[in-house]
Amino acid sequence: MSKIKVGISIGDLNGIGLETIIKTFKDSRMMDFCTPIIFGSTKVAAIHRKALEMQDFNFNIINKTEDAHPKKVNLLNIWKDEVEINFGKATTRSGELAFDSLKQATQAFKDKKIDVLVTAPINKASIQEKVSGFIGHTEFLQGNFDGESLMIMLSEVMKIAFVTGHVPLTEVKKAITTENIYTKTVQLNTSLIQDFGIRKPKIAVLGLNPHAGEEGMLGKEENDIITPTIKKLKEDGIMAFGPYPADSFFINKNLQQFDGILSMYHDQGLTAFKTLCFSQGVNYTAGLNIVRTSPVHGTAYEIAGQGIADEKSFRQAVYLACDIFKKRAEFQELNKNPLAFKTRK
């Protein structure tokens, strides 16, 4: 297999995205297994390098993806205009350019010019000032690629997906349906098999209410919806268990027993995940015909331009994107010969 071409959207220009990109690829060993192509601007890069005192780091400037050098950090110069950088501030212009970078990287994937996509953090509100209806990376990619997206947050400690994503808490309860829980569990199961090479995943399903409803005293959803759905999943061959109380689930003993976790809503799972895995966690958009990852942190305006951002999460996002690309290719190859899949240890 040839080296994987990693397309990288630059994120919010006033945040820490470009800093984490530079720090990640300052280690030349990264180019041993991938070819990075950053969708950005030479002028923006120069400002960041100066502010971060990283003048010894050089990009390979290209005007089309085909010119990417396999052993260099390639910067596709998509903006020629002067751009004002205001570290730590959300601006309409920074949002507009962050979206343009994402859009052009997305088109490059459609044109088969990159193999995977890694996205640096954005400010959704800044983008929405110019792009009405923009909710986030996941929803944008859902509208551009085949499949049904599923957000999975993962690290060496856990892999956790969500029944509901970026919706207000007041709307969560009505989204906790048999269909949604069943569909998301199946998606998580499929991703664990084809993207991570886990033959028979064990999935823990969390409850919605405190103490998983306390036998109906603190809510009916567990008895009426979640438990029957888990039973149906087991009947259909998926190893789903639960519902487990979220307040006591996230301990090492439980985490080691399961390959994946299904959380009922965004903050239920992410609070635990970011507490335990923030520095090296990765956000993965499963379920689509594109491999997209990103760091779990945001723009971190409060430390932007100071040279103190931790690049570990972004580096892990690059590693993961490449690993999943190879796992998917392996899964597809094995599925061409089911006998080989069955006999493989």
Show the domains of the chain with their CATH numbers. Answer: 1-146+289-307 (3.40.718.10)
The confidence score (pLDDT) of residue 345 equals 42
> Is the distance from CB of 161 to CB of 186 less than 8 angstroms?
no
Among candidates 287, 264, 270, which has minimal Cα distance to 164? 264
Q: What is the pLDDT of residues 275-331, one digit of tens each?
A: 999 888 999 999 999 999 999 999 999 999 999 999 999 999 999 999 999 999 999
Q: Cα separations (Å) of 171 from 132, 150, 174, 177, 276?
A: 21, 18, 6, 12, 27
Q: Which two tokens stand for residue 137?
A: 């990376």
What's the CA gap between 167 and 154, in Å, rounded?
21
Element holding 77 (H helix, E strand): strand 74-77
Confidence of residue 15 (pLDDT cuts 50, 70, 90): very high
Average pLDDT estimate for 247-252: 94
The confidence score (pLDDT) of residue 271 equals 94
Per DSSP, the three-state class of 266 is: helix
The confidence score (pLDDT) of residue 295 equals 96
What's the CA gap between 126 and 123, in Å, rounded?
5
> Is the distance from CB of 249 to CB of 204 less than 8 angstroms?
yes
332: buried, middle or exposed (CB in 10 Å: 19+, 13-18, 0-12)?
Answer: exposed
Helix pair angle (17-25, 312-336), 10° resolution: 70
Average pLDDT estimate for 134-158: 93
Handedness of CA 38, 65, 132, 169 (dihedral sign): negative
The confidence score (pLDDT) of residue 215 equals 84
Out of 165-174, 175-184, 200-209, pick the least confident: 165-174
Q: pTM score > 0.85 for this model?
A: yes
> Is the distance from CB of 268 to CB of 248 less than 8 angstroms?
no
The confidence score (pLDDT) of residue 343 equals 44
Q: What is the pLDDT of residues 73-121, one digit of tens each?
A: 999 999 888 889 999 999 999 999 999 999 999 999 999 999 999 999 9
Average pLDDT estimate for 146-159: 94
Per DSSP, the three-state class of 151 is: strand
- Which has more confidence, 339 or 28? 28
